[in-house]
Amino acid sequence: MSARKLYHLTWPGHSLELGSETLIMGVVNVTPDSFSDGGRFLDSDNAVAQGVKLAKEGAAIIDIGGESTRPFSDPVSVDEEVRRVVPVIKNLSRRISIPISIDTTKAPVARQAIEAGASIINDVAALRFDPELATVAVEFDVPVILMHMLGEPRTMQQSPHYDDPVREIREFLEDALKRAQQLGISSDKLIVDPGIGFGKTINHNLLLIKHLSDFQTLDCPILVGASRKSFIRSLLKNEREDDLQPDLPIVETGSWAAAAAAALNGAHIVRVHDVAATAATVKIIDAIVNADNR
C-alpha cells in the first residue's frame, strides 16, 4: 500500500483534487471497432447518453475517443475522427459540468475537440506522434495525459520485450515529462500513464500495477487504465476458451480488482468502463488507505 501525494490541478473552468481519493475517468468510445464495447456508442446520441450516465455514477472525467487504439488497429483520418467526436463533445459538454478529455494523438482533432467543449488532452503517444499537440495544450491552457506505448497500436503487441519494464517505462515517462515541459506545457498540468496493455505482456502489466509506487518519483499524478484489458481476460478464462467477451460480468470483476490494486499502489485516477461499481470499489480502498489510529 502506498500513500499518494496530493496534487491540485487547476485550469480554465475546472479544478481537480488528486490524491485524497481515487478519481474515476469514465470511457466513451465513439468507434466501430473498440475492443471493449464494439461500436455501442458510435451513434452520437448513444454516446452522449452514456457520458451523462457515467457522470451521474460518479466519474470525475469523461474520456471521449474516436480512434481505436486496440492492438493491431489501423489509424483513421483526422476528418473521420473529428466527425465522430466533435458532435458528442459539443452536446455532452452542455449536459455535464465535469471535464471531458479527448483521447487523440492528433493536434487538429484536439483543437476542434477543445473548441467543442473538451478540456483535457489524453495522448497515448506522449507527444511522439504529433508534437503540435503541445502547441494546442499551451494555447488552450489544458492538462495533458502522457502515456507509455511500445511502438504503435499496429505493432505494440508483437513480442514486446523489456529488460526491466518498470524502470524502462518510468524512464520513458520521465523523458516524456521533460519533453512536454520543453514544448511549453506547465509541469502542474501533466499526468502520466504507464500504458497498461500497450506493448506489454501479461506479466509486464502485473508488474507495473504491483510496482506503481515506483512512479511516484516522477512527482506527477498517475493514471491507470486496466479496465477490460486482455491481460485480465487471459487470467480469468479457462483453458478451453480462446478469449472472454470484454463486457462479461467476470471481466468487470477482474477490472474492479485491477482498479483496487492500482489505487492501493498509488494511482490518482483509474480509467474504466463500469463507473458505478468501480466507484464503490475505490471508496472502500480509499477508506483503507486513509485510515488512521484515532
Catalytically annotated residues: 229, 271
Beta strands 61-65 and 23-29, pairing class = parallel
CB 63 within 8 A of CB 103: yes
C-alpha cell read off for 266: 498509488
Beta strands 14-18 and 7-11, pairing class = antiparallel
Eight-class DSSP state of 212: G
**Distance (Å) of CA 181 to CA 16, 83, 114, 175, 269:** 21, 31, 20, 10, 22
Amino acid, single-letter form, for residue 284: I
CB 49 within 8 A of CB 37: no
Buried (b) or exposed (e) across 71-106, using 16+ Cβ within 10 A? bebebbeeeebbebbbbbbbbbbeebebbbbbbbbb
Instruction: Compute the CA torsion angle 132, 136, 139, 144 (nearest 10 deg).
Output: -110
C-alpha cell read off for 5: 501525494
CB 172 within 8 A of CB 200: no
Can you tell me the distance from the alpha carbon of 284 to that of 205, in angstroms, rounded to the nearest whole number? 23
Eight-class DSSP state of 222: B
Buried (b) or exposed (e) across 195-211, using 16+ Cβ within 10 A? bbbbbbbeebbbbbbeb
